[in-house]
Amino acid sequence: MSDLEAPLRPKRKKVWVDYFVQFRWILVIFLVLPISFTLYFLTYLGDVKSEMKSYKQRLKEHDENVQKVVKRLKERNPSKDGLVCTARKPWIAVGMRNVDYKRARHFEVDLSAFRNILEIDKERMVARVEPLVNMGQISRASVPMNLSLAVVAELDDLTVGGLINGYGIEGSSHIYGLFSDTVVAYEIVLADGRVVRATKDNEYSDLFYAIPWSQGTLGLLVSAEIKLIPIKEYMRLTYKPVVGNLKELAQAYMDSFAPRDGDQDNPEKVPDFVETMIYNSTEGVMMTGRYASKEEAKKKGNVINNVGWWFKPWFYQHAQTALKKGEFVEYIPTREYYHRHTRCLYWEGKLILPFADQWWFRFLLGWMMPPKVSLLKATQGEAIRNYYHEMHVIQDMLVPLYKVGDALEWVHKEMEVYPLWLCPHRLFKLPVKTMVYPEPGFEHQRRQGDTSYAQMYTDVGVYYSPGPVLRGEVFDGADAVRRMEDWLVENRGFQPQYAVSELNEKKFWRMFDADLYEHCRKKYEAVGTFMSVYYKSKKGRKTEKEVQEAEQAHLETAYAEAN
């Protein structure tokens, strides 16, 4: 058996959950899809209503809602009430991780009113938004102005708060970094009720750098000021098929956006957008995009593809056609390009509704897609949740760009998940060491994609049922995730905490750096008020006793051992 061959596994006996999952599409079509469409429509009406308000009215309502949060925090009795968390229901979160920390006794603070775009400042090129504003909402408001967030995550439902406190990436991240790297200022309500504005160069600069990846455990985010960039009406997208082994596919991916001469800041050599999809161990399609004006797009002979129409083929399948017809170029309306993966949830839609990619379904019911992830979670019980944890993978592996080939081979051998999504991002060298940080001395190596101020990383998106599961073989999902996490720790990689994690506390703080985070936890009195980031991310139910013990553990922490 070669190094890339997956091990032979015995067949797995089917249980009742297998059949429930197999026919879950019935529930999705007749219940989840109609309710999802209704909720999408009502949310849209709410967004329109918000946009009709004057700037002064939106700001007044914002300030009033902030004071309600402050008042609520001050009502908490630390000796009697549980730790603070938002009143958002556990199943509403878009991430796949079960929000088990809310099963313990806790003190809820309602942030549901914070869903407004407060201002789009064309002079400062900054958008000030509240944390529940989602990507669909902000792109709908900004794109007609030929403006956009520097990083627009692909799925409409992803919120600003989740992308800041957690993890957010897009095809422009090889230029601008992760979503949190584009934030100019945070408005935070601290544990003691103080409202502060944190920037990289004011008295709260330590808090500014500690907020990303903290999962809301340092304070309550009530607004953010985010960088805007000028854009054009269309995206000129080039699809380039590549055939070869995984290392060759990895090199072709690197070459698609990272000049070998190291001229990474040259816009003539570096595209505006990059992504790659690996369809199997020998085939992939590299996509590079550049903004284009409507005049250019509508020139005779150019192909315009409105990928956002409900009846259009799913984007990942459309891109796959390049493997048969060869390299081609087309123009996609910019906003439709931003949200190209929304309708099919990348390719997860194929598992949820196996026939939803067929032409007849797209024409008849495609306008109701996608089902809301929150409703999918709300309609699954404990047994179904556990089944997906064992038989299904939704993980992102953030690895140094030069190790992307090794990562692809590891996923093929251990999980056999295809397609795979590749998206590069910069990891900046900052004045302080944050939870995620580049490799020490990377600037002296100057590997492909790196600059003196940022190391190029890449996201390897692993979303689908593993090959052994599709073949009916035994597969231990929890063990596979543990091995993936070990591989990431050994290779200076990171695992976004929206996903299910099997890390123990010691390994968690080997993967992430604790110093600045714990400094801010103590300085801003978050200890004893907000749950620690590890415990909030930890898999499994949390009892009140466990929560209290975890909070006491900061006096004798596992990350200190790791250091």
- Per-residue pLDDT, 500: 83
Alpha-carbon distance of 425 to 437, in angstroms, equals 12
pLDDT for res 306? 96
Task: Say what the pLDDT of residue 92 is.
Answer: 60
| CA nearest to 540, candidates 98, 12, 42 | 98
Choice between 149 and 96, residue whose per-residue pLDDT is larger: 149
pLDDT tens-place string over residues 465-475: 999 998 888 88
C-alpha dist (Å) from residue 557 to 71, 480, 507, 532, 561: 32, 27, 12, 11, 7
Please tell me the predicted confidence (pLDDT) of residue 7.
59
Q: Please, which pLDDT band fits residue 99 given cuts at 50, 70 and 90?
A: low
What is the pLDDT, as a whole number, of residue 479? 92
- Please say if the pLDDT value at position 161 is more than 60: yes
Domain spans of the chain, in order of start: 57-230, 234-385, 391-417+424-500
Q: Flag whether pLDDT at 449 surpasses 90.
A: yes
Q: What single-letter DSSP state applies at residue 403?
A: G
Dump pLDDT digits (tens) for 58-90.
999 999 999 999 999 999 888 787 788 886 766
Q: What is the pLDDT of residue 556?
A: 46
**What's the rounded mean pLDDT across residues 123-136?**
95
Has residue 558 got a pLDDT over 50?
no
Q: What is the pLDDT of residues 371-400, one digit of tens each?
A: 988 888 777 777 777 787 788 899 999 999
Residue 194, SS3 per DSSP = coil
d(CA 227, CA 148): 9
Q: Which residue is associated with the tokens 């690996």?
A: 278
pLDDT at 562 over 70: no
Report how far Cα 510 is from the mean position of its chain's Cα atoms.
22
pLDDT in the model for residue 559: 44
Smallest Cα–Cα separation from 485: which of 503, 499, 471?
503
Q: Hey, which bits of 100-194 come out as E strands?
A: 106-109, 117-121, 126-129, 147-149, 183-189
Quick check: 499 pLDDT over 50?
Answer: yes
Q: Which CATH class is domain 57-230?
A: alpha beta
Share of the chain above pLDDT 70, in %: 91
pLDDT at 142 over 90: yes
pLDDT at 318: 97
What does the pLDDT average to over 327-339?
97
pLDDT at 101 over 70: no
b/e map 398-429, b = 16+ CB within 10 Å: bbbbbbbbbbbbbbbbbbbbbbbbbbbbbbbb
How many whole angstroms separate alpha carbon 383 and alpha carbon 380? 8
Supply the pLDDT for residue 392: 87
* Residue 199 pLDDT exceeds 70: yes
Q: Please state, rounded to an integer, the average pLDDT across all residues of the chain.
A: 89
What is the per-residue pLDDT across 220-271, written as a single tens digit (0 to 9) for each? 999 999 999 999 999 999 999 999 999 999 999 999 999 999 999 999 999 9
Q: Is the pLDDT of residue 483 over 90?
A: yes
Instruction: Specify the 3-state DSSP secondary structure of 485.
Output: helix
User: Could you report the per-residue pLDDT of 422-434, keeping only the tens digit for each?
Assistant: 999 999 999 999 9
Query: Tokens 């089902």 — which residue?
Result: 371
